[in-house]
Structure 1
Amino acid sequence: MAILQAPRSTWYSLGSSSTRRCTRINITATINLPRNQVSPHDLSIPKIIASRVLVEEFEMRTGHTTLPTPGSEKNYDHDSIINLDNSKRRSPNNPPDAMVIAKLYAIMDSVADRVEMHKNIGAQRDNWNLLLLTSINGITLTAATLAGLAATINASGPPLLALKISSTILYLAATGMLAVMNKIQPSQLAEEQRNSARLFKQLHQEIQTTLAVRDPTATDVSDAMEKVLALDRAYPLPLLGAMLEKFPKAVEPTLWWPPKRQRQVGKLGEETDGNGWDGKLEGEMREIARILKRKDVAEYLKLSKKALKVSGILAISGPLLTAVGALGSAFVGTIHGTPAVMFAVIGGALASVVNTMEHGGQVGMVFEMYRSTAGLFRLTQETIESNINERDVEGRENGEVLKLKVALQLGRSLTELENLAAASSRNYKQAVDQDLASKLFWQIIY
């Protein structure tokens, strides 16, 4: 056993340049050494040295950096430790604006409330879809049954008249309810609220992250406000007067973000390296944005148009069939009795099938899903282009972080993203025609 005594003159200091605290440390270590293998004279305890720059950065970014290993402090300098904008660092000598923080917390509270509202209203509208579908199908089939029973009564009189009137009333009620249901598309309304709740959650998390990692500014407050208002416009809560058009003439991606600010475009040949960016990464991101625009956004808009066309056909067919059933049931027992019964019974059966296909299959929800997916790719495309157009690399988002976000957004690894960009740059037309940028939503198409 060997007992080693550290030098009594060992000191360390922690603190900022204005406040320092010195402590004398006596270190005593007891080490069990195998005999005849290691000599106590061969052991030494390195000095505890903390670089002044490292200490200051550690205090400002507590929990985000680690102290250097002993003996490695000579490899560090102020620029290689962390590259932060001085205005964004947390520093006790430069406290954040309390009013800015208060405003951001107020926006967070409002966003959290919107999340709950959209979740509750989404669940309500999903129940509408189920209850209306079941009720209308029940009414339609009951009307068809009454029309068939009326046809079995040979003699005219109160029984026949009662069955005919009841069948006609039920058909007319089903026609009116189905017309309203097809107009508002409850399954599509529920999908809108699910999307909005998810996006408001993302915004809530973004604000939390901003407050956690750096001092917020007035720009952060205005950006958060713009995002909240953009989401309110994209996914309105009320039905009357503010409901989104369920059968638009022109299909466009859903836009839930504020317009991107104009970037400062520099001169050609200007240096664009730094902040995680270089010429290779910029070329890759440009190719990815091009594929997103030409392939992914266009593909999902095409699917949206197909879903909208199917939804429109079914929305017209359902009320039309129930109206035909009502007309047929009104003429049961007359000189046109045989064709009238056929129209009343078969029309009701077909109306139930069409209604089930449209609302049970939630065609409106599928249309909204495709349109919002196209919006997601449009947002990714605009984010890439906005950063590329900014020639001041310090004003961009960090290149490596942006690349990671885009890869995750598209369901690809970083290597797959690079290979896709390389294939596009070699043979642009072939790459775009054969492959989508996103792998995350392929299952929805194929």
Structure 2
Amino acid sequence: MKITFVIISILIGIICVLTVWLQYFYIQSLYLKTSVGSATPFPIFEDMVASEMIKNVVDRYNKSETYILGISNLLNNAVSKGSTTFRNHSLVTHTEVQHLLKAALAFKLSGKVDKAMKLLEHVASIAPQNPDLLNQYGEYIEHTHNDIVAADVLYYKALTYSPNHKGALLNRKRSANLVDKFDLELFKLIDKKRDLLQEKQKTNTFYKAMKRKAYYLHIYHTVAIEGNTLTLDQLVSLLDTGQAVEGKSLLEHNEVLGVELAMNYVKLLTRCATISADEILAIHRRVLGHVDPIGSGMLRGEQVFVGSHVPPAPEYVPALLEDYTTWLNSEEAQSLHPVRYAALAHFKLVDIHPFTDGNGRTSRLIMNLVLLRTGFPPILIFKYQREKYHESLNLADKGDVRPFVRFIAQCMENSLNFYLSNMEYRTGITHIFHKVPSID
């Protein structure tokens, strides 16, 4: 019986190896066909997804908050998390909320801005779904902090709980147009920085060192967002030496190895004319291949629940994935600004949630594949941005995808800043680690 089991295990292993090799040569043949006489644009930053031979180094990163990510984090956290801070918001009456809002307004009118802010935060913690609170909170942020972006998010939240709220309707009609203009300016800024990076790439002697740093950071942060506890030093050691890290689970080791394998596969796909459902499954197979060899690359066969989001029933997933790839390869999608296109590609796939596990990692890889194919470098989403990342995804799930697109655009600008700043000089890996203690 034991001998039979061993033989079967060996045969399964051989089949898996042969499958990987066949997929490799299949992709290579696609690569050759599409790279000759194809209308597909040359992926300028293709080699920023490092190959197996690129091992070493990591970076520093300026964590200064920006206009978009500044006070918005505080507000979203106050609204989404505060319900456990004081008492059950179901016990708070509408009259109590109105009294507190009037008191906050009185503080504001009398010039006691800090007290007004604290009182609004208190109301948000005990009544996070109250539309009057959300609308007034938005007005306060807009007029006191001049943050139309954060205010627009709050107006939208108010309308999700009360679609006919007059104040929120008027405010959202006005703020939406202003935010659209703001987003347009952000895309223009991103385009300028992308063009500058392309120019620097041609002659800069530090380009190779920079892309190696980015390579390790991509793997580190994409698994850290999912809860992996390997430090940056440990991850680099694992990938450089192949030696296990003491005190870390086999699962965490395999998560890192899976993302590395998937990133190398994504590099092969950058010149393919289209992205198919089979290729998405192949990416997932590599992401989870070391963790779940049997379930990796397979669509889920059960209903899953992701926080407040309820993905489609499993029987609808195959058709939805085909619809997704049809959109992904459509002129409609490809006519969008590449960053918007990539953000929507991420959201639409994670919304379907086609797999039992690994949906976030696969969606982020698809997002970066889209960017590489459209002449942009890959995006770095740092693990300290995890809450903002999930918050903006939740808003998209409720119907407003703009905060998520804006978040991804801001991550792209930050990534471009990182690429540009790290092409200015060469640093050693020890020096880099000392510069980024907060990243771990």
Same fold (TM over 0.5): no
**Higher RCO by CA contacts (8 Å cutoff, separation 6 or greater):** 2
What band does the TM-score fall into relative to the shorter chain?
under 0.3
Give TM-score scaled by structure 2 length: 0.24
Q: Which is higher, the Rg of structure 1 or of structure 2?
A: 1
Task: Judging by fraction of residues, say which structure has more strand.
Answer: 1
